[in-house]
Every structure is written in C-alpha cells, then in structure tokens.
A and B are shown apart, each in its own frame.
Chain A
Amino acid sequence: MKARVFITLKPGVLDPQGKAIHHALEGLGFSGVNDVRAGKLIELDLAESTSDGDIEEMCRKLLANTVIENFRIERLEQVA
C-alpha cells in the first residue's frame, strides 16, 4: 500500500522560499501569480496492515514539525 504525505507551512507562517519562487516567476514574465507557498511531498510504501492512525503518528512524530507545518495524508489505491 502506498501513501502520500503532503507537508505545508501553516497559514501565516512566513515562507521565504515561496516568496523567492514567486519573485522568480514574476521575473520570467508570469503575471497574475498572487502568492506561492512551497511544501514537501513524502511517498511511503507501507505494509497493508498500516492504519491511518499509524501514518498520522509518523507525521506527528517526525515527518512534519507541527509547530510550523500542517500535513495531509493521501492513501493511494493499489494499482492492479
């Protein structure tokens, strides 16, 4: 079973990297970009028995720093 964990900065937390990407996009002539926030995607290959609770605990204990980051878990259906 595979799962994806999306880690994003909490709203209101300053994102200097997102800001730099935003400036670079503007520098390339892309207009109409209102804001950019950069995050992380972590792909997990897990035993079938892994519960949602287990994945959430992984996020809380290591994958995300919940002081500044939110996380979202997406389980991927097994492709036959």
Chain B
Amino acid sequence: MNSAVIVFPGSNCDRDLAVALEQVIGRKPTMVWHQDSALPDGTDFIAIPGGFSYGDYLRSGAMAARSPITRAVKDAAARGVPVLGVCNGFQVLTEAGMLPGALMRNAGLNFVCRPVPLEVENSRSLFTSRYDAGETVVFPVAHHDGNYQADEATLDRLEGEGRVAFRYLDQVNGSARAIAGIVNDAGNVLGMMPHPERALEPAHGNTDGRRLFEGLLETVAA
C-alpha cells in the first residue's frame, strides 16, 4: 500500500500517523507538503493528520481545506482512494466539504485531552472491518474544537445510512448525538476526532487503534 500523509504548517500528528502506518503496513508513507499540487503516483491511501494547521486561523481547518494539496486529495477521494482525517484532519475534511457538518468549540470550552471510550457503530466500513459493531474501544482525544454539529436532517441521514463510524460513550465535547467519527456517502472518507494512531502499541496504554490500520490495509490490498 502506497500511503501519503499530508503535512500543513502547524500539523503535529503527522509523524505519529507516519509511524503508525509504517508499523502496520511495513512501508514508510510519503510526507506530502501542503503547497504541492499533486500526490505521488499510485497513492492508494491518504491520511490527514491532527494538529493546528495554519494556527487554526479563521476556523480550525479552514485554511488547510483551501490549500493546493487539498484539491488533489479531493480528486483522489472522488476516484475512490480511501482518506482518513484525524482530529484537525476531520476539521479539514468538513471545511473542504468532503464530509457534512462542522466542528465547533467544545461545549465545555476546555481543551479535552484524555483517553475516551467509544462505541464502534458500524463495522462494515473499510476502516472498521476489523472491529465488531457495538464494540467498545478506547482512543485518546486531544482537541478544542471537536463539537460535531450538523442540521437534524443531516444527522438523521448519517444515522439512517449507517455512516456514524464511532460514537462517544461519555460526554466529551457536546457533539450532536455523541458523534465522534463519520464516513462520506461513498464510504471511502473517514473523519474522526479521536486518535487511533495514538493507541497502537502497549506503551500507548492500549492497542485498539491498530485494527483500524490493519483493516484498511486488508481492504486496500484486496
């Protein structure tokens, strides 16, 4: 699998994602700078990392969503290339219009940084095939703007179409219907606030995140 990790000024989880991908896939991802306008030929998986791209100026993810590389990511996603956006990556995906809704300031106004239990809502997506539906996993969160909001019709549609991938089991940030991660209608783009790449090896506290990358590898390689 040829993976690419997009790097914006202010990304700070790009190396975490790169380490996770290399561990699971066995190949280093290509780090792609935000001003590049094309992805490497043959890229079959794209990860958009967490962090504070462009200092969260204007709105979290707003600038990154309009950068040259994001146009290339959009085109690749339209061709069916799987895209994972974690934390700031999720914010970028909503700002780019690749996922519905928006991520607003946490309801409690505090930066939330702790491991949180999540329910895997849908195990049929290409990102969650290695999990059981209804299973509880624990991933760390670290965000200030993780409060997922969309209008009622959009929320109903996401739920009705089985596009909620992960839900918080605790009150974390005020997200509508406790949504922690969603997929697009084609099923190849996942945005999530919790960090699966920070739950990869025993030293992290748990290894629940590992199966996300394993499932992805299996699907992409198939």
Interfacial residues, chain A to chain B (CB-CB below 8 A):
13-14, 16-17, 20, 61-63, 65, 67-68
Contact = CB atoms under 8 A, between A and B. Distances in A.
8 contacts: A14-B174, A16-B107, A16-B174, A17-B109, A20-B109, A62-B66, A67-B102, A67-B150
Contacts of A62: 58, 62, 66
Given A16-B106, A67-B101, 14 more contacts: A13-B104, A13-B149, A14-B147, A14-B174, A16-B147, A20-B109, A62-B66, A63-B58, A65-B102, A67-B94, A67-B100, A68-B102, A68-B104, A68-B149
Contacts of B149: 13-14, 68
Contacts of B109: 16-17, 20
Nearest to B100: A67
B143 to A, nearest CB: 14
Most buried by B among A13, A16, A61: A16
B105 A17 contact: yes
Q: Is the interface of B mostly helix, strand, loop or mixed?
A: loop
Interface string B69-107: 000000000000000000000000011000011101111
B130 interface: no
Interface size class of B (residues with CB under 8 A): 10 to 19
B59 A65 contact: yes
Interface of B: 58-59, 62, 66, 94-95, 100-102, 104-109, 147, 149-150, 174
A17 B107 CA distance: 9
Nearest to B63: A62
Contacts of A68: 102, 104, 149
Contacts of B150: 67
Interface centre among B59, B108, B147 (most CB of A within 10 A): B59
A74 B1 CA distance: 51
Contacts of A14: 104, 107, 147, 149, 174
Contacts of A17: 105, 109
Contacts of B105: 16-17
A20 B66 CA distance: 31
A16 B104 contact: yes
A13 B101 CA distance: 12
